[in-house]
Structure formats: C-alpha cells, structure tokens
C-alpha cells in the first residue's frame, strides 16, 4: 500500500518535474488573473456577478486571431492583436454597460444573473456566426517561441512571457487602484456606493469606466492566451468555471485576493493533474467549497 | 384555495385530461416535458418567489432525480407494478437527501452568496456525473431508459405524469399556504424580524430547500423516463439558468406563474430549435427582453392589464418595492 502511494508520488522528489509544474501553474495562474481581476473589480464596484466575463475573454482571443492575420509580420501582428483585443473589448464593455447593465443595478439578484447569463448565450452564438464553429490558432512571434535552458530543463519562453505580462498587469492595476484619484474612487465605491454618490462623485461614469476596464482586461487575457489554447466557441466554458472559483476563493471584489487565488488555482491544477489524474477539476471545486464554508467572504473579501 | 380559482383550475384539469386525444405522439411527449418542467419551475419558485432564496444550482436536484430514476429502472429489478409506485418516492428521497447536504452548507448565507454556493455544488455534482463512469455512464450518460410496465405506452405515461405533477403542485400549494409557508414569506420580507420573533431562520430555510429539492427531483425523474436518457449536461452550468428563466418568464409573484413560464419556454424551445441551431441566441434575446421590459413576467403583464382595465390604478409595484 505504502509502496504504491510512494510510487504514485515519486515525482515529488524530481526537481525537474516540480520546476516544470510550478512554471505551468504560475503561468496559467497569471492568465486566470487577467480574467478574474476584471471579474472581481466589476463585482466590487457594480455588485454584479458577470457570468459573461469568460465570453469576453473568448471574444478577445477571437479578435486576436483576426487582427494577427491582417499583418504579415508575426511580431507586429501579435502586438496589434493584443492592442486590438483590449481596445475592441473595451468598446464592447462600454456598450454593454451603457445599454444593458445600467438598467438593472437596482433589480433583484435573479434579474442581474439572468441578464449576464443571457449575454453568455448571445455573445457565444454571435462569435459562432462571425468566426464559425471551428477552432483557430494564433502563431507565436518568433522571439517568444523558443525556450530557456535552466536547472537542466527547457522552459518555454512564452510561459515566462505570460508570467511577466501578468505581473505587469498586476502592477499596473495596483498603481491605478492605490496611486491615482480614480483608484481611490473605485476603492470607495467598493465600500459604499451610496455614500460616494452622496459626496457628489459621478458614479454613473465610474461604473461605465470600471466595466470597460474589466472587459479590456478580459480581452487582453484572451489575446495573450490565444497562442497557447485552442480558440473556439467552447473556450469560455472551461475558463468560466476556473475564473469563478478564483473570485470566490480570493474574495469577491478584491483584486489582490484574485491575484493570490489565481496562483493558488493555477498551482493546484498543475500539481493536481499529477497527484490525482482526472480529478483536477474536483480539486478546484474542493478549494472553493472549503473556502465558502469556512470563510465565505473569501481570502481577502470584505464582509457582506 | 379560493373559490374564484376553482373554475379556471377545473377547466385546466379538464383540458389536460382530454388533451391527448387531440395530439400526435410527438406533442404528447412535449406535453409531458411541459408538465415535468412546470413542476420543476414551481418547486424552484417556492424558494425564490416565497422564500426570497435564489438557488442558482437547482438543476442539481433535477439531475439527481433523473439519474435516480434511470438507475432505478436499470438496476432495481422490482416487478413493474411495484416499480411504478416506488419510482417517484425513490427519486424524491434521493434528491431530498442531496438537498439536505447541499442546503446544510448553503442556507447559512443569503443573497448572491447563496446563489454562488448552490451553483458551486451543482458544478461539483456535474463533475461527479462526468467522472463516476461506472455509476453514471460518464460523458455518455445513461441511455435507453424505459418506464416500467404499462407506462411504456406514451398515453399511459402522460396520465402518470399528469397525476404526479398534479399531486406535486397540490402538495406544494398546501405547503406555501400553511403557517410554515407564511413564515417563509416573512423571511423574504424581513429575516431579522423573523429571527427576533424566536423563529429558527436557518431551519426554516433548510426545510424549504429540502422540500423544493425533492419536488425538483421528482420532475427530473418524470422527464428522464420520458426522454429515455440522462446526460451530465443536465447538471451543466448552462442548465442552472433554466428554472430561473421559467419562473421569471411566468412571474415569480404567483404560485402557478412559473408553470406557465415553463410551458411557454418548452414550446418556444421546440419551435425555435427545430428551425435554427441558434436557439441559445434566441433565448438570450428573450431573456434580455424579459429582464428589461417585463420583470413581472407573463402573469405580471396580465395582472397589470386587469388592474388597468378594472380600477384604472397604477401598475403593481415591483417585487422589491412590495
């Protein structure tokens, strides 16, 4: 019995495997952060759980596919794809907030959930109409395609790039939230929207801006993920569940919580695949269920 | 039940009893689906409309009921006559047990957190349905199911469904009209005050959750045997919106509104998905219209019409404001 278990966990002693899985876990975690940061920010300020956030991520990846195909130079194409996806989703996000979400801030929870749920179906099918049901891919630019030799194994360069990109976005968000006036307003809105409005702040515009920022982050995440995932209409389903778990574990409305939880879920998935093959999804849910039962507000969330 | 409701209810019962003679087998099949989903939506709305609890994982119990019925007809080996009687009880019992466990953890929280907890548990059950292949058939689900004995005939199964749905709706109505049901309504309006009155809020919420889960399971069992198969997709995240849409479409402020919503939803799905593969898009647009323009649902529209024609009064206030 013990021998079997020892055999099963033999990889624990292998530094190569540990390093590889850690890298995979952290880089996937960074991608998750790009989605869940926006999701968490939006919930914190707008108090709406945006089911459609993963659909925005998928649209970002699809826009990246189209934009990258326009330019002959792969590096310029990739850069344009990132910018295009973020800009495109920012526009779409603003449109969604102004035309739909703005009308339901005072509606009961079921109306809010239903509306963002409807957006999942509408955006998913619209994507299918525009890009077709098949899966697409984006070529990695040549300078990011190779690997780096370290500790006796090869790290894929793109994974390192993802980690750097995630860290850069996290740092940028921190600067916005804690070093600008706008960030102060966002944090104030998370704590007490009515008070903020009573102090004469234009919360209407603030809400639009926050949803736009969240959507742009999702779009950027989708574009960054495009070279390493199969970009198709089914993409948002797997992403949704993980992003959902991340914001619940990290605490709804907390960007730092989303950052920690993203890394946690990324690592749990990466090592769960080795420890309990086929049950990695259950591990994510187990984490989420434990957090919800023991500390329902999440690691860094504020009380209800 | 008030006297003014008796006439329309009797008329509806008569229509439902006579209905199969005017329908093809396909539409009898669809009517069974309508009845099953009507029971599902009404059981869901006992939580939302009466208790103010938004379960976003109610498909869990519909699915558990469906899988229980499937395993029951495949494995129990009971003589058909006994199986016919035991099947609904088994489905309700297992779903109630699942609801007891899920509810134990979930009813501690209210509002959006309750919705998320129930949603998370539904996803957990989805994963189990997908991975526990020996029991659930995994990705392929359980197929080739047949109702036991005489019920294999569509007409017999229709009346079986009608009897079970009727009994289910009657029991749920008795429940919401009882003192317990009134406590539940008080809980929606002001949980803190109910607590001050010395009533155990959590126990009441849990009891309502278990009861609602049991009848959702019965609905799942009815639909599983009519459909002939059960898939993990029944527990998938897209399925969690179905009872919410039905209830809101019909109107959460009335007992039978969600049943009407279920009927309209099922018929729309049959008509639209028969013509285009973009049924999700159509449903998404319907939901947006519903949420933005008619949040009181179909029964709300009708009531507003009655009020306007009769007393020339203002439209009814929204659920939140009441």
- CA-CA distance, A237 to A229, in Å (whole number)? 13
Asked whether residue B269 is assigned to any structural domain, the reply reads no
| Amino acid A56: pLDDT | 94
Asked whether residue B4 is assigned to any structural domain, the reply reads no
A114 interface with B at CB cutoff 8 Å? yes
What residues of chain A lie within 8 A of the CB of B59, using their CB?
Answer: none
| Amino acid A181: pLDDT | 93
Q: What is the pLDDT along chain B (322 residues), one digit of tens a residue?
A: 556 677 888 888 888 888 888 788 889 999 999 999 999 999 999 999 999 999 999 999 999 999 999 999 888 878 888 888 899 999 999 999 999 999 998 898 888 889 988 988 898 898 889 888 888 888 889 988 888 878 888 889 999 999 999 999 999 999 999 999 999 999 998 999 999 999 999 999 999 999 999 999 999 999 999 999 999 999 988 898 999 999 999 999 899 999 999 999 999 999 999 898 899 999 999 999 999 998 888 888 888 777 665 554 444 444 443 3
- CA-CA distance, B159 to B104, in Å (whole number)? 36
| Amino acid B313: pLDDT | 44
Q: Which residues 6+ apart lie within 8 Å of A20 measured at CB?
A: A153
- CA-CA distance, A101 to A123, in Å (whole number)? 15
What residues of chain B lie within 8 A of the CB of A244, using their CB?
Answer: 116, 119-120
Parent domain of B113? 23-237
CB contact under 8 A, B290 and A114: yes
A278 interface with B at CB cutoff 8 Å? yes
* CA distances from residue A224 to A23, A171, B313 in whole angstroms, order as listed: 16, 17, 56
Number of neighbouring beta carbons within 10 Å of residue A100: 17
Structural domain total, chain B: 1
| Nearest residue, CB atoms, B287 vs list A115, A237, A240 | A115
ipTM over 0.90: no
Domain boundaries, chain A: 15-122+130-141+155-233
| Amino acid A172: pLDDT | 94
Closest residue by Cα to residue A97 from A212, A190, A185, A182: A212
CB contact under 8 A, A110 and B109: no
CA distance A139 to chain B (A): 30
Asked whether residue B82 is assigned to any structural domain, the reply reads yes
| Nearest residue, CB atoms, A103 vs list B120, B292, B319 | B292
| Amino acid B322: pLDDT | 36
The pTM of the full predicted model, rounded to 2 decimals, is 0.89
- CA-CA distance, A221 to A223, in Å (whole number)? 5
CA distance A292 to chain B (A): 7
- CA-CA distance, A261 to A30, in Å (whole number)? 10
**Could you give the count of Cα atoms lying within 13 Å of B141 in the half-sphere of its Cβ?**
21
Q: Return the axis-axis angle of helices A157-179 and A255-275, rounded to nearest 10°.
A: 160
What residues of chain B lie within 8 A of the CB of A114, using their CB?
Answer: 241, 244-245, 248, 287, 290-291
Enumerate residue ranges in chain A where pLDDT < 50.
Answer: none
Asked whether residue B291 is assigned to any structural domain, the reply reads no
What residues of chain A lie within 8 A of the CB of B291, using their CB?
Answer: 104, 107, 111, 114-115, 118
Asked whether residue B70 is assigned to any structural domain, the reply reads yes
Please list the alpha-helical segments (H only) found in chain B: 3-18, 25-45, 59-75, 80-106, 111-131, 133-136, 154-177, 179-189, 191-196, 201-227, 242-250, 257-273, 279-293, 297-310
Asked whether residue B189 is assigned to any structural domain, the reply reads yes
Asked whether residue B180 is assigned to any structural domain, the reply reads yes
């Amino acid at each position: 019995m013990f021998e079997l278990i020892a055999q099963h966990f033999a990889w624990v002693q292998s530094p190569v495997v540990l390093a590889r899985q850690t890298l995979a876990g952290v880089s996937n975690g960074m991608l998750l952060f790009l989605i869940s940061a926006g999701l968490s920010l939006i919930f914190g300020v707008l108090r709406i759980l945006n089911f459609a956030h993963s659909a925005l991520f998928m649209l970002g990846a699809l826009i990246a596919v189209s934009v990258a195909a326009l330019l002959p130079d792969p590096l310029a194409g990739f850069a344009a794809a990132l910018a295009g996806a973020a800009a495109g989703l920012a526009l779409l996000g603003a449109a969604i907030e102004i035309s739909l979400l703005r009308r339901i801030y005072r509606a009961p929870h079921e109306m809010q959930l239903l509306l963002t749920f409807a957006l999942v179906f509408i955006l998913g099918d619209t994507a299918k109409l525009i890009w077709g049901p098949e899966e697409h891919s984006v070529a990695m630019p040549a300078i990011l395609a190779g690997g780096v030799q370290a500790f006796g194994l090869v790290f894929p360069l793109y994974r390192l790039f993802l980690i750097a990109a995630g860290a850069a976005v996290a740092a940028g968000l921190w600067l916005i939230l804690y070093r600008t006036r706008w960030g102060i307003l966002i944090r104030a809105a998370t704590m007490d929207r009515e008070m903020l409005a009573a102090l004469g702040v234009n919360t209407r515009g603030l809400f639009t801006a926050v949803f736009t920022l969240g959507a742009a982050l999702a779009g950027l995440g989708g574009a960054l993920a495009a070279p390493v995932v199969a970009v198709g209409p089914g993409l948002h389903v797997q992403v949704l569940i993980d992003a959902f778990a991340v914001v619940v574990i990290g605490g709804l409305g907390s960007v730092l919580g989303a950052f920690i939880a993203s890394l946690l879920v990324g690592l749990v998935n990466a090592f769960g695949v080795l420890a309990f093959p086929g049950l990695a999804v259950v591990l994510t849910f187990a984490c989420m269920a434990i957090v919800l039962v023991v500390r329902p507000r999440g690691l860094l969330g504020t009380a209800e | 039940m008030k006297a003014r409701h008796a006439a329309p209810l009797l008329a509806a019962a008569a229509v439902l009893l006579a209905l199969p003679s005017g329908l093809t087998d396909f539409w009898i099949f669809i009517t069974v689906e309508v009845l099953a989903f009507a029971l599902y939506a009404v059981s869901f709305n006992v939580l939302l409309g009466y208790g103010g609890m938004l379960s976003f994982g109610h498909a869990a119990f519909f699915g558990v009921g469906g899988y229980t019925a499937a395993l029951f007809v495949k494995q129990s080996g009971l003589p058909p006559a006994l199986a016919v009687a035991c099947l609904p009880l088994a489905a309700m019992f297992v779903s109630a047990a699942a609801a007891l466990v899920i509810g134990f953890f979930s009813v501690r929280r209210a509002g959006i957190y309750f919705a998320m907890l129930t949603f998370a548990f539904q996803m957990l059950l989805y994963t189990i349905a997908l991975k526990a292949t020996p029991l659930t058939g995994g990705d392929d689900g359980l197929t080739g199911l047949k109702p036991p004995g005489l019920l294999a005939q569509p007409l017999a199964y229709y009346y079986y469904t009608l009897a079970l749905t009727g009994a289910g709706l009657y029991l749920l109505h008795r429940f919401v009209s009882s003192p317990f049901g009134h406590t539940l309504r008080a809980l929606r309006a002001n949980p803190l005050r109910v607590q001050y009155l010395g009533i155990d809020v959590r126990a009441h919420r849990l009891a309502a959750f278990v009861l609602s889960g049991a009848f959702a399971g019965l609905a799942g069992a009815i639909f599983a045997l009519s459909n002939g198969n059960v898939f993990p997709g029944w527990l998938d995240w897209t399925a969690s919106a179905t009872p919410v849409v039905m209830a809101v479409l019909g109107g959460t402020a009335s007992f039978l509104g969600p049943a009407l919503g279920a009927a309209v939803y099922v018929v729309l799905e049959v008509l639209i998905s028969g013509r285009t593969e973009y049924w999700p898009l159509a449903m998404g647009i319907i939901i947006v219209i519903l949420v933005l323009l008619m949040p009181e649902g179909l029964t709300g529209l009708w009531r507003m019409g009655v009020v306007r024609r009769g007393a020339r009064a203002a439209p009814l206030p929204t659920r939140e404001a009441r």
